[in-house]
Amino acid sequence: MPQIEWVGTPNFRYGRNALQPLAIVNHITAGYYPGCLDWMQHPGSQASAHYLVLRNGRILQLVKEENTAWHAGIANKPNWNLYDGTNPNYYTIGIEHEGMPGDELTEAQYQSTLWLHKQLITKYPAITIDNRHIIGHYRIDSINRPNCPGIKFPWAKLFADLKGEHDVDHLVIYADGDVGAALLLSFKLKCPMVHKAFAEKIQAKHKYWVGVQGTNGDGNVYYAGSDRIETAKLGL
């Protein structure tokens, strides 16, 4: 599980003008660590974000969530329908991601920002999982920040993972003589089990299945071996 490391910055305003966060704004730093952190900690930059997610997966916190970070800048031809004409820094949380606009997030970086998004969504009920409440900086400044957080930012994957669309929906399929192993897996995975002779219709409703005996399926887990009870005990 990722850990949040406090690093701090002088670039913030105490409080949020009596407002609460209702959106997350994602950014790309257009530079690499430690330079990108140094920039947001330098008083002359007048720049900051609440969080910085590094390419190695570290999460650095620069500004407390109850305070205002200076990440959204000045609105310039915004195409964000929650923008109300006031300073968007007051009602957003800014997450910077180390990298250049053409970079893809590393896997460690993606998993950390996914975890961080989940924490913020849980903490702030107003932040719902949609493209009105989780946005890129380009939605606020379409002129000077058209590539923030970049064309390779994984929006579709992020929304799908936040909604649980990639969660495993298991089904245990077993054959004659594999009832014991199937029972173990079914109990461990808290999912139904069905004999392979009757599995076709039920299996089609599940994204993933576990075969105690059979052949591997795309994206599925298969348990086999001379002692299927022992392999089933290993779980997933």
Q: Which SS3 state, helix, strand or coil, does residue 17 take?
A: coil
* 96 catalytic residue (yes or no): yes
Q: Is the peptide bond before 149 cis (omega within 30 degrees of 0)?
A: yes
Q: If you compute the radius of gyration of the chain from its CA atoms, what whole number of angstroms results?
A: 23
Nearest-CA neighbor of 157 among 97, 124, 110, 115? 110
Looking up tokens 């390779």, which residue turns up? 152
Q: How far apart are CA 2 and CA 16, in angstroms?
A: 27
Residue burial 209-228, b: 16+ Cβ < 10 Å; e: rest: bbbbbbeeeeebbebeeeeb
Q: How far apart are CA 65 and CA 123, in angstroms?
A: 11
Catalytic, out of 5, 96, 165, 230: 96
Q: In this structure, are residues 54 and 166 in contact, taking their beta carbons and an 8 Å threshold? A: no
* Alpha carbon separation from 172 to 48, 162, 229 (Å, rounded): 49, 26, 13
Per this entry, what is the length of the chain?
Answer: 236
Q: How far apart are CA 74 and CA 89, in angstroms?
A: 9
Nearest-CA neighbor of 45 among 14, 67, 71, 13? 71
Annotated active-site positions, please?
96
